[in-house]
Structure 1
Amino acid sequence: MRILHTSDWHIGRTFHGHSTLEALRGVLEALVAQVREHEVDVVVVAGDVFDSATPAAPAYTLLTDTLVALHDTGATVIVTSGNHDSAARLGFQARLLRDGIHVVTDPMSIGTPITIDDADGPVHFFGIPYLEPAIVRQHWPEDAHGRPLRSQAQTMAHAMDLVRAGMTAHDGRSVAIAHCFAAGVDATAGLEREVRQGGLDVVPSEVFDGPDYVALGHIHGRQKVSDRVRYAGAPLHYSFGEQHKERGSWLVDLDASGLAGIEWLTLPIPRALVTLTGALDDILSAENIAAHADDWVCAVYTDALPQAEPMRRLKEHFPYCAMVQHDPAVVEGNEERSYAARLKTAVTDTERIEAFLEHVRAGLGPSEQESRLIREVLDERVVAEALV
């Protein structure tokens, strides 16, 4: 059986105020062409199909067009929800979809596989929708050992226990699909958010033991947790922090005994991203203009003083300049700069709140009781947003 592993489409996301819808449409059309060319049997989309819990109508149109095009290749399509998706909105029409298109958003279905047969027998696909502990706690107040499920890592471990129980009940090869932050991977700072809260929600790699292949989503660059546990990343660049990361999908082959081979399929990049650093006059050199006039440009100018209308000057020569930053080469150290640096490296809302408290309290962070209260408030917000 041949499987294409993709994820993190983020349909509807903007790039510094610019719509990405048409660029993504072109990339997904290339992905459909690869599915047809390589005679893929099953396409797996591992979460974050949409960028928002309330996507606009054109986002639904692009998803529908892509799912229909994938189905027309003869492939079966399996989609799971991610932390950006509203499971209710993504899954509301699951029962109305045509045969061969499956949307998995119900956590109570985790141990029940979608089974697809090939010449070597059945392959069982276990879809795991994104699991927010504050939401799924009503279904699973504790794990098999009686421990409460407080973190996303604990919840994912429990979900994989359900997958392994399903594997025991169904003979054959197996594939798990999940959306989480696995231990040992490299995230894009400030981008892959709302899954990690400190270190408690980093999922240990041994949690994924069992299936022949585990297709992960959430990290936007391709990464290998192990030979059989991988991230495909996003098909489009959504941040300058991703500019050096390839875009593509994993082509996974299973034979009668399990995992037989994996190949990376590169996707086209509609417009390259580049960061130009230096004095503003150097950034505006004829050489840079000739090389990057058609690229998305992030300009980081290092002049000692702020320059007048830098974006206007840059856009005269770089029509796709999306971002400009003033980062002087020499800056006096001060507390304001230190606070800005802490905020820049903060990934989660919890870390941002802790940085703020340390700043206003002269280095004193939250107490244990305050940390617990912060987590409870953030959990309540997640639940409220999920019910919108």
Structure 2
Amino acid sequence: MRILHTSDWHIGRTFHGHSTLDALAGVLAALVQQVRDQRVNLVIVAGDVFDSATPAAPAYTLLTDTLVALREAGARVVVTSGNHDSAARLGFQARLLREGIHVLTDPLAVGTPVSIDDADGPVHVYGIPFLEPALVRHLWPGVELRSQAQTLDHAMGLVRADLATRGGRSVAIAHCFAAGVEPTPHLERDIQQGGLDVVPLSVFAGVDYAALGHIHGRQTLSDRIRYAGAPLHYSFGEGDKPRGSWLIDLDAAGHASIEWLDLPVPRRLVTLTAPLDELLADGRFAEFEDAWVSARYTDTAPQSDPMRRLQARFAHCATVVHAPAVVAERDGRTYAARVQAARDDLELIDAFLAHVRGGEGAVDDERGLLREVIGDRVAAEAIA
């Protein structure tokens, strides 16, 4: 059986105030074409289909259109909910969709698979929606469920018990923070509480493949336990990570050969670091003029209106950070001490500038301008 593993679509997410809906629609259309070209039998979407528990109407439209297109491309589809999704809102669509599209959001159905037959017999697909221990422990009285690890271990116990009676090949789908992964800083919503919610890989024993979601970059934790990552870049921290999905061929014995399929990147993400004048004019940055840009300008002092100036060259500049290459040494004096030591207005202003600009006082051009202004004021006061 040929399986495509994807996850973390985050339909409805914005990128620094910009909608990603059109870009994601294009990428998902490319994914549908891959399903058609590769003659995929089953598509797995491992959670975080939506970006929020209350998605807007266009997000539902994109999801429905994509799921139907995947089915029309010849694949069965199994979708589970993640920690961003509302299981109830995602699950309400299940009965509205055509045969062959399965949206699994009910914790009590964890041990009941979607079974799909091919020439080698059935493949049992067990979808485990994101299980928040505090919200599901009442469903299994007498079972200690205080952490993600305990909760997923219990869910996989139900999977293994059911599989023992059915036999055949198997796939589990889960949305979690598995041991050994490398998260993108400040991106994946934290579902850890200390170390309690890191899920050991041993939890996924007993199935032929574990399709995981939550981490936005592809990761291989073992030959049979993988993250596919998100199909679109949602932060500059992901800019160097490929986007795509895993293509799994499951043979009659449950052994898998696995290949990575790249997806297109609608607009690349880059972080550019240089003095502001170089960012604005240097030819080496010309290739990034149509990219999403995070600019870090290294001038010692803050520059005026850097975002507007950068966007004149980089129309998709999304963030600007002042990151001085050299930070002036502090002399240990407080701002109050600097003010008290000032002998005239020029030194008073210089003390203020040094205070707010990381130790750098007025430069020569600024001193000339200040002398003119102060001289004009003194002359005006004398006339008055």
Q: Evaluate the alpha carbon distance shift between residue 142 and residue 237 of structure 1 in structure 2; reply closer, same or farther with a 3 A threshold.
A: farther
- 1:40 corresponding residue in structure 2: 40
Q: Give 3-state SS (helix, strand or coil) of 2:199's partner.
A: coil
- 1:169 corresponding residue in structure 2: 165
**Cα shift readout 1:279-327 (whole Å, capped 9, x = no counterpart):** 2122223324411111000001122221110100100100010111112
What is the alpha-carbon distance in structure 2 between the residues aligned to residue 333 and residue 149 of structure 1?
Answer: 53
**Cα shift readout 1:11-62 (whole Å, capped 9, x = no counterpart):** 0000000000000000000000000000000000000000010000000010
- 2:243 corresponding residue in structure 1: 247
Mapped contact 1:141–1:149 kept (Cα < 8 A): no
Q: Evaluate the alpha carbon distance shift between residue 96 and residue 326 of structure 1 in structure 2; reply closer, same or farther with a 3 A threshold.
A: same
- 1:93 corresponding residue in structure 2: 93
Alignment of 1:10-21 (within 5 A): 10-21=10-21
**Cα shift readout 1:144-164 (whole Å, capped 9, x = no counterpart):** xxxx21111211111111111
Q: Residue type of the partner of 1:122?
A: P
Is 1:201 the counterpart of 2:209? The answer is no
Bigger Rg, structure 1 or 2:
2
- 1:341 corresponding residue in structure 2: none
Post-superposition, which runs of at least 4 consecutive aligned residues in structure 1 deviate over 6 A? none
- 1:220 corresponding residue in structure 2: 216
Q: CA deviation at 1:72?
A: 0.4
Q: Give 3-state SS (helix, strand or coil) of 1:258's partner.
A: coil
Which among 256, 278, 282 is matched to residue 278 of structure 2?
282
**Cα shift readout 1:234-262 (whole Å, capped 9, x = no counterpart):** 00000000001000000000111012300
Q: CA deviation at 1:194?
A: 3.2
TM-score, normalization: structure 2?
A: 0.84
Q: Evaluate the alpha carbon distance shift between residue 305 and residue 178 of structure 1 in structure 2; reply closer, same or farther with a 3 A threshold.
A: same
Q: Residue type of the partner of 1:95?
A: R
Q: Evaluate the alpha carbon distance shift between residue 278 and residue 212 of structure 1 in structure 2; reply closer, same or farther with a 3 A threshold.
A: same
| Unmatched 5+ stretches in structure 1 | 335-388
Q: Give 3-state SS (helix, strand or coil) of 2:58's partner.
A: helix
- 1:56 corresponding residue in structure 2: 56
Report 1 or 2 for greater relative contact order, CA contacts < 8 Å, sequence distance ≥ 6. Answer: 1
| Unmatched 5+ stretches in structure 2 | 331-384
Mapped contact 1:301–1:326 kept (Cα < 8 A): yes
Q: Give 3-state SS (helix, strand or coil) of 1:131's partner.
A: coil
Which among 169, 180, 184 is matched to residue 184 of structure 1?
180
- 1:325 corresponding residue in structure 2: 321
Q: Residue type of the partner of 2:16?
A: H
- 2:124 corresponding residue in structure 1: 124
Q: CA deviation at 1:137?
A: 1.4
Q: CA deviation at 1:332?
A: 7.7
Mapped contact 1:142–1:149 kept (Cα < 8 A): no
What is the alpha-carbon distance in structure 1 between the residues aligned to residue 284 and residue 291 of structure 2?
Answer: 11
What is the alpha-carbon distance in structure 2 between the residues aligned to residue 185 and residue 295 of structure 1?
Answer: 28
What is the alpha-carbon distance in structure 1 between the residues aligned to residue 164 and residue 89 of structure 2?
Answer: 32
Question: CA RMSD for the aligned pairs?
Answer: 1.4
What is the alpha-carbon distance in structure 1 between the residues aligned to residue 176 and residue 118 of structure 2?
Answer: 29
Q: Residue type of the partner of 2:280?
A: L
- 1:302 corresponding residue in structure 2: 298
**Cα shift readout 1:353-385 (whole Å, capped 9, x = no counterpart):** xxxxxxxxxxxxxxxxxxxxxxxxxxxxxxxxx
What is the alpha-carbon distance in structure 1 between the residues aligned to residue 257 and residue 200 of structure 2?
Answer: 24
What is the alpha-carbon distance in structure 1 between the residues aligned to residue 277 and residue 140 of structure 2?
Answer: 60
Q: Evaluate the alpha carbon distance shift between residue 269 and residue 142 of structure 1 in structure 2; reply closer, same or farther with a 3 A threshold.
A: farther
TM-score, normalization: structure 1?
A: 0.83
Q: Residue type of the partner of 1:39?
A: R
- 2:82 corresponding residue in structure 1: 82
- 2:228 corresponding residue in structure 1: 232
- 1:348 corresponding residue in structure 2: none
Q: CA deviation at 1:141?
A: 4.5
- 2:353 corresponding residue in structure 1: none
Is 1:105 the counterpart of 2:105? The answer is yes
Q: Evaluate the alpha carbon distance shift between residue 303 and residue 268 of structure 1 in structure 2; reply closer, same or farther with a 3 A threshold.
A: same
Number of residue-to-residue matches in the alignment: 330
Q: CA deviation at 1:200?
A: 1.1
What is the alpha-carbon distance in structure 2 between the residues aligned to residue 22 and residue 112 of structure 1?
Answer: 36
Q: Residue type of the partner of 2:18?
A: H
What is the alpha-carbon distance in structure 2 between the residues aligned to residue 22 and residue 142 of structure 1?
Answer: 47
Mapped contact 1:289–1:318 kept (Cα < 8 A): no
Q: Residue type of the partner of 1:197?
A: Q
Q: Give 3-state SS (helix, strand or coil) of 1:24's partner.
A: helix
Mapped contact 1:123–1:175 kept (Cα < 8 A): yes
